[in-house]
Structure 1
Amino acid sequence: MNIGLTIKKLRNQKNVSQKELSEKFNVSCQTISKWENDNTYPDISMIPIIADYFHVTIDTLFHGVIESADDVIPGAMKDNLTENNEGWNLAQKNGWTGTILPEYGAYTPTEDKLCLFDDIEGKSVLEIACGDGRSLLYLAGKGAKELYGLDISEKQIEAAKDNLKSNKVKATLFLSPMEVNPGIPFHHFDCVYSIYGIGWAQDLYKVFGLISKYLKPNGRFIFSWDNPILPCIKEKDGEYLITESYVKEQERQWIKFGESFTTRNWKISSYINALICSGFEIERVIEESDDYSDSAPVTGKYYSEHKATIINHTVIIKARKK
């Protein structure tokens, strides 16, 4: 049994001192030291609490440390994440940064109209798929006091560090897929959000489960993503046709800058059910179009002004951790 060594390695990965850990578990520093030196073992009732704190299984506590995402992500999912990592690295190099607050998506009401972050002053926030950090900068300008960000792309994280530094804004950034906790503290944040990033999730239940753990009780989770009907619609001869299945939640492979990307077209009900299973209460669902003209011409573009007259391009959800 090497539970002591496992606890020590997990503690170091999380950058937590023995004193901080002792306060979390309501034991003495000497007790933590004895655990880590295998002089004694945690009481059996403590094992689930320790596993939950480090977000590992009880088996992992007894048999070894999860060293990387490779140990917790299935092969097929790992292939998709590797592909998306490479794609976003190239995308950043070519200037594609994604959607940035106050925008939520194409032809969609902005934060200036929706005011979903209206009480963010003095709050701690975490952005999932933070890109080049400009949405973090936006919330810093609104008074958010503590900023964290996570992204799968090395190049995006580098750009975020540069943007934040040049604006003299401090933030803690993590390079990781959202399906893995790279050391983000649990029960810490007032708000977790993702602006056109959550749809990159390969496992909604794993991601939403982690986000729930990151949040304090009553903390808010806000995200936007494509209306999942949108990829199913194609324009032909001036008409819109449903050409793909909505119900099958198919993987979508697409090319940008010569690189492949893979997402899964989750149904709206899948987002809602994953939120409910992760302990969230839904406060708002926004399906609106904005900034379009009823006289706009029909085009074959994925996002189009005319298409926005008949279907909202973006779904925005705000939920509260119960």
Structure 2
Amino acid sequence: MKTVLSTATKTQSFALIFDDFKQITKVGLSVSVVFSSLAGYLLGADQIQLQPLLLLAFGGYFMVGASNTFNQIIEKDLDALMKRTKNRPIPSGRMSVQVAFVIASLFTLCGITALYIVNPKTAMFGAISIFMYTCMYTPLKTISPLAVFVGAFPGAIPFMLGWVAATNDFGIEPGTLFMIQFFWQFPHFWAIGWMLDEDYKKAGFKMLPTGKKDKTTALQIIMYTIWMLVVSVIPVTGITGDLHLSMPSAIVIFLLGLVMLVFAFKLYQVQDNKAARSLMLASVLYITVIQVVYVIDKYLA
């Protein structure tokens, strides 16, 4: 009986430790970044090779996991002030800063190494992403709303990172993929900032462009959504080098963007958390679906 209880206790303890590991590295976000990177790779590759594809997936996962862990180390005291983050592993006391630092350091080393094996340019962009997220975006959140602008740079790297991994080159094609995800960051994160504004203010985070849930913030969301939509369909014109988009796929992407734009206008009209949540969900759907559309378009066309 004691053996059974001991085994059950060990299993439960392992499950709790694993859950903390998932929280500290933000597994869900890491997986979404890997998805974007793989989509970029499939767009850039003339011939799909398993080794660089796997290295890109692992490297991308480690890269994001490292950034998120460093972020939670730096913000441990602020996380303790907010309802949505006070139960994270570090502020709750379930994980020490030392353990988290070891995880972040190992993830950084493994991530950059994996990406370097793919090619040096991919590793360089991966390292830039970790640096900007940890050393620029994270401390800037309590200083200025420009944090979202700065954070949009590392946030936009994954989609283009895949193309660089496939081609070992940076040009107009990965630049276009970067711009798509760059402009997408603003409506997505400002919608989140709108929903969590009260909680963010407890920690002194300045996430909304005006500092308020007002029409000016909503208007900026609309403007960036329009820019995102325009950049997303630009490849149909044929001016983005080897990155192409057929007219049917461009129409699909345009219609998806219009849906997102409708939600942005709805937020402008009603200015409530429900509308912000709808916009946030629409933005997640948009970036996921258009990446699938781009890949399908390439291989069917």
Whether these two folds match at TM > 0.5 is: no
TM-score normalized by the length of structure 1: 0.28
TM-score normalized by the length of structure 2: 0.29
